[in-house]
Amino acid sequence: MSHDNSTKEYSISDLAEEFDVTTRTIRFYEDKGMIHPERRGQTRVFLARDRVRLKLILRGKRLGFTLKEICEIIDMYDDVAGEKGQLNLLLEKIKIRRTELEEKRRDLDAAEQELIEVEGRISARMKELGLS
Amino acid sequence: MSHDNSTKEYSISDLAEEFDVTTRTIRFYEDKGMIHPERRGQTRVFLARDRVRLKLILRGKRLGFTLKEICEIIDMYDDVAGEKGQLNLLLEKIKIRRTELEEKRRDLDAAEQELIEVEGRISARMKELGLS
DNA sequence: GTTTACCTTTACGTAAACGTAAAGTATTTT
DNA sequence: AAAATACTTTACGTTTACGTAAAGGTAAAC
């Protein structure tokens, strides 16, 4: 077994197309130290690891985190290899982030409920006005 | 019954304090036409309606919507009083927004799952290193 | 061999969402 | 009446997250 680890490669425009962002965006993220593609000559070569990171970044953005926050969150994934004291701190950080996510979930639930209510009011109004 | 409708009043700093934003932020939202406080002389007087709007705005922000998107969403709540064609369009818009919310929910679930996994790996690592 | 298609760096520009300072008004406290 | 407090408008400044040329390198296709 060459324990393959999915050694596929991607160009910058491969990823840009797949995730519907511009190449500028990807280069910007590299500039900020959020992705670390390899180089073949001067050309960037992205591996599975980079692709995962990009996916995480974009997900973070959809959830309303800033790039700085996203950095902090993603960096946690790599910090599991620390020693005792570090790990306790890391657990604390994770707890805080999970609390944030729960708050977002409550916001999400509330927002969805309101849309559902508006739909209800619209249906009622449409029946009032005639047939649907 | 004076069908009170909670006719309480708020100053700009009341709301700023309650929601932990600056007065500048609130004035900015008014400037953008997102809140419409009354005036007593030149001083702003906020009513329950304005407070609700502010709450909606801040919730939208926490969910990663732009102020423009938040405007579009909040405006939908007022558009229920339209006629037939408008209402159908409105239903379409709501459907789109609900789809967005569902995507955010999937993102949220995935993010939470990953944090849980990291917690697991940390616990394992801590047992490896000795006692917790 | 030159066009086409990607890739690169450098660098100024921009929209969004406020921050911050200046300068003034109105009321309440000492 | 002087000081403190809370409100106001006006306007320039700042950070974030890229957009958008400009100017060029490299490799396949015609």
Distance CA B50, CA B10 (A): 9
Q: Is B61 on the interface with A (CB under 8 A)?
A: yes
pLDDT at residue A130 in the model: 80
**Alpha-carbon distance values, B69 to A20, A81, B22, B96, B108 (Å):** 20, 41, 21, 12, 20
CA atoms within 13 A on the CB side of A103: 14
Domain positions in chain A are 1-64, 82-132
Task: Give A5's pLDDT tier (boundaries 50, 70, 90).
Answer: low
B110: nearest CA partner in chain A: A59
User: Which of A52, A61, A84, A107 to mutate against chain B (most B CBs within 10 Å)?
Assistant: A107
What percentage of chain B reaches a pLDDT higher than 70? 94
Yes or no, beta carbons of B107 and A62 under 8 Å apart: yes
Instruction: Express each pLDDT in A39-69 by its tens digit.
Output: 999 999 999 999 999 999 999 999 999 999 9
Helices (H), chain A: 12-19, 23-31, 48-62, 67-78, 84-129
Q: Which CATH class is domain B1-64?
A: mainly alpha
Q: Are A126 and B126 in contact (CB under 8 A)?
A: no
Q: Is A63 on the interface with B (CB under 8 A)?
A: yes
pLDDT at residue A132 in the model: 46
Yes or no, beta carbons of A108 and B107 under 8 Å apart: no
- Mean pLDDT confidence for A85-92: 93
Residue, of B129 and A50, whose pLDDT is higher: A50
Tokens 């960096």 correspond to: A75
* A49 burial level (CB within 10 Å; 0-12, 13-18, 19+): middle
Which bases in strand D are touched by protein, i.e. have an atom under 7 Å from a CB?
A: 6-11, 16-20, 26-27
Distance of CA A126 to the CA centre of its chain: 39
Distance CA B45, CA B26 (A): 12
Instruction: Express each pLDDT in B61-83 by its tens digit.
Output: 999 999 999 999 999 998 988 88
pLDDT at residue A6 in the model: 67
Yes or no, beta carbons of A62 and B62 under 8 Å apart: no
CA atoms within 13 A on the CB side of B89: 8
Distance of CA A70 to the CA centre of its chain: 8
Task: Give B132's pLDDT tier (boundaries 50, 70, 90).
Answer: very low
Which bases in strand C are touched by protein, i.e. have an atom under 7 Å from a CB?
A: 6-11, 16-20, 26-27
Residues of chain B neighbouring A122 (CB-CB closer than 8 A): 80, 87, 90-91, 94
Whole-number mean pLDDT of chain A? 93
